[in-house]
Structure 1
């Protein structure tokens, strides 16, 4: 490295900087003084030279502001009265709204001579009008008389006292087809400053007034749309504009963007017969200055300028009238000779000052608007946060003060209700993991739309492996569409499809890093806002479920040491029984040896089960073929399970399977246990197969232990048939099971099976001919029966 490239960091460069500043500072100061003097001199020279033009331009601007304010005041009743009417006419009593409308119309017409009339219409075709009639007031109502629509005109004085009435046919008139009605409805959802619709000016045939209509749509308390319209006469506005004096010989005119004249000397003949005020436009031959000024406005917007026409220069000002009507433009012109050389002053003053002033004003206005919106948004967020916190505190206080909150033997239905209410979910459910770790039992399920609780459903690991995988991760899972998530598709089809929900929020309930249950929220809307409530309830459930698992573990240990044989152990000692497929039982032996057949007669206590498939029929060939394949696969599985659990017989009748656990004159508890065990296996297999297919096929199971009649039918007496109370009861229990995929058990079957399986009390069940009895939901296998009343 060269020596001159080495920089010593110890050298203080402050002195060199100061020296450089001392050299450059005076030069910059001199340049600044020169520039300042030049600017001041130039400004003074141009101001003195163009002072007269500046004065004339300011006079024109003052005239323009004055006209704009007058026109705005002239049209301002349309905005104020329309929004006032939108607050007064929202009642659900149509007659009261009409009376209020007529009172408002008389009051305004009496005090504002330039207001011509009022309209009121709704989405049912009703129409009312308030207008002047000579020195009185006319109240018009469109109504059906003698089967045809008529205008009923009622003439009143200023205080509403009746004077006279008449009617005219209203055939073919529908206010909903009018432009003022349709456009107002289209603008209903806009911001308040853009909701009001203004029609183009038109000539009112009956009053010969040149009017413009402003209409506003709003919604009444009964849900119907209402449109309020006010008609303002422009005749007086023309007289005012024609009376203005602009310079010595200048003129003023108000036009729309298409050049149609709204007010001005072109409209001097307004009101006379044959004069069409709606078709008056600027004439390029007689009014070239206004035509060119309007063309410049369309391109450049508001501003002044110089227009040369007929060998003369004219000073022009074009300004939009946003306070009156957005599409109207005020045009002023005056010969330049009226103000000598004032036009040059306006030109240069616009260049040097207007841009700066307008720019600063825009910057300040934008800053104020932005800051105001930020403050408003912040206040709104603080208010919303306060309301949410207050709502959370109310729910949490109610949960904390609940009696027996941590007692697992005491049900707490409010927990599900609080979850659904705070998260605005269609359904909230609480699930407990059973001691075997492979089954989730629904402790409570609350449907917010129906305001109903359900329980008893069971989800297994074999049928829903993705669900258990999500829960064992220990983290909340939020899936917008569970039908598209491979892990939760089975849950959507088995659980969520009942009420057609898709969005699923899944929260594992953990006790000391151990999974004990889960919380499911279906189609939640306020999930973030409900976080505090959800986490508190999850903590409560962790304590409750942890105690239940500990108690179940202790009971399992005690049961293992007992000498009571289990159903599986005794099953091996029983002789292999037959499974007969088909509606007719066909013996394994020939007809000459019917000894294996039950004797005909009454059997008082036969364990019987009915499996019923719903929506198993389709008239579509492809859908029917797919349904047949699905039913065939399910039948194979059902047949295997029936053989495995040594059931006596299986019969098929349409969309129903009929199972017999045994068929003897004495009560066979083992046969009933085999039947319940088979029902659980069939439920798991059916749920697993159906969950992997996009089908609405669902099933229900009913179990009873009751009396049946057995008979041998046919020529050879080899046809086995049964009927009676037990079959009827099992079929009714299956048909009326609360949810698809559940097993409903009669009270008689429950008394036999309660020591071997886990049950949930559903409630009272009515069977025609037998009366009212309790029914139960068979939740799953268990060493200790449990009934939780709801």
Structure 2
């Protein structure tokens, strides 16, 4: 037994208990005093502060009700006058209606200075307006003169007597396309309390007034729709809000739910040249109280609150001011000190009396807090450790219960998935060292973000000597950036660059101290927590790979190469000269080419390119393959003829894909893009007609893009034309991802070039790896010149 576990029964524990009580007693006494002082102080302060704040809130609510009532009176003419006009302007005599409208406008403008102007329009495109011009009134009529639309301005006095007239061109103006007209017509069938449409405030360019428009649609006796609109200036509203006094130094402002200022001191420069009243917003730097109050209103609705900023407490009031389409919000704030300054004095005095006791209490409590924090941290670590062990045990249990775990002939994709999930890595791969010791074969590679497996990649010792050197050391290697490590740069470029990973953890797999494979973990976030699982998986893989190597050796020993074969393999043989067969159905220029006829190597920023992809084009049955080849040959002849007919630059065959170039120049060529779209439509029709006459599963898809490509002239004579790059990748991806066979999918860039000539429909968002999300379109056919596309 250890000596520190021996207990002497003769020792009196009473003294220790008393010492403990002496230590705890003063602490409890200090805490009791602090709590008592704090409670009395807090109660007194809260009572006085709440009384002052309640008083301030009541004052602000009274101010808020007063402002709300004033704003309602300010905007009320819009409702009354609009419905009055709907009863006065419904006659079947248009001239009489216009005269009544002008008389009504002059009367209201004369008596209501905050009303800016009136509009009147019908469903035939007629438009009338009445507004102020200095001390007189301007009556505007849009009419046809000399075969063109003009605004005829007639200036009258308050009694309607003629003063002067002038006119301006109204080319391109149609009141039926204006927001106030369209929205009013949409609301015509609603109940009376919801028929009136309010626009968002905007700056009237001619009068320099910040206005809001209210419009109402109704039907005249002759069956035509009429829209009456009234424009109310908000300049006077700003002057009214700025004149308010909230407490000693408080402020008021009217905003919409997006933070745009409708009225307040932000709009003090309204009407001055260069001031954009429509884009004035609450400034978080200079108006943090209003910004915070608006945020609270969006969540909580109407009410009061306290906002602390710049070392001060502010009492705030936020109240909605409904206005049909959008709501306006009235915000008021005032510093708490304006109403409760005496409570601050009491608070400071109490603080001075209590500071010494509180300081002592803090010193005594610091030790207890420190010890408590240590215990808490220890408990958290123990809990985290237990959680990690539980997660590891769950993963290990699933691995152990996997059928055929040690059988190398059965694939085990869960091993990579378990490592990826436990290490929270972007990708995990398992590599087996082949029996020659010079090659690593990828048994499984799991991309966690895409939830996809792949295999079959091979890394050789001659191509990646640094990788094999790291593995032969036998230790786990953690490289934050493989691109900066000379030993692993080749691995980063060949394996990791395809998904743009950099952090690499490399664990050798050893069987009896001999290398048999490796585990690669890319961009892990919890590598330390996953070491236990990685070690177990490496042990399992060591058994699997060791068995696989033994089987490979037995297979080689059981069937050695005959001597004649070995001699033939070792002896140099004469090889026929290599022939380069270019897969071109159409080359640029004439039939016979000279290397100089090809485009110069380099980057071509805007090349119209199309990819035609055949699916289900392979069959292992000889008869079916012959039928398929005859069908593809027939289609190829038609495709070649169509390409020549539309004067395409080139057509190249690559496997089951045809690559078409409309042109190949350094400048954008809309004609080449149009030619390739015409050819796509012709090829689609020819292919559909031919395939429909044959019992085959062959189908095709077409993708078109206008993008950048790299052009190269290859070969010793520089007579082989090749291209690759973003445009070809995009066109290929568009072809491969067409939703249905026989369709033509077009990128957003190609759509922008072709939209004026061809008809499209929007397919939706299209994801291209490495480029992101963009819109794609389905090419329906060719439209009339000048017609707009139907998306």
| Structure with greater Cα Rg | 1
Do both proteins adopt the same fold according to a TM-score greater than 0.5, normalized to the shorter chain? no
TM-score, scaled relative to structure 2: 0.37
- Structure showing greater relative contact order (alpha-carbon pairs closer than 8 Å, 6 or more residues apart): 1
TM-score, scaled relative to structure 1: 0.37
